[in-house]
Amino acid sequence: MRNALQCVIAAVATGAVLASIPYWGGDDFPLMGLIVYVAGMVFVAMPLCLYYESLLQSHEERVARARHTLAT
């Protein structure tokens, strides 16, 4: 899951860079690159981060429960 999250973040960043290429060397701000980056991070990467965090928390709870069971 961690690798998938890193790949998604890299893909969003690459998409933002590609969207800003036409603006390189000009005086205009690459607004489309910013839009792609923000939308990708908010709508794609952030839900994946939250899902990954919930997986980690449930794993920690299972480990703690197993340790408690073994201790008694």
pLDDT digits (tens, 9 = 90+) for 14-72: 999 999 988 888 888 888 889 999 999 999 999 999 999 999 999 999 999 999 998 87
State the pTM of this model.
Answer: 0.72
- Residue 23: the pLDDT is 86
Q: Are 72 and 64 in contact (CB under 8 A)?
A: no
- Residue 71: the pLDDT is 86
- Residue 27: the pLDDT is 84
- Residue 67: the pLDDT is 92
- Residue 24: the pLDDT is 83
Helix axes 46-71, 2-20, angle to 10 degrees: 170
CA dist 71 and 26 (Å) reads 66
DSSP 8-state secondary structure symbol assigned to residue 25:
T
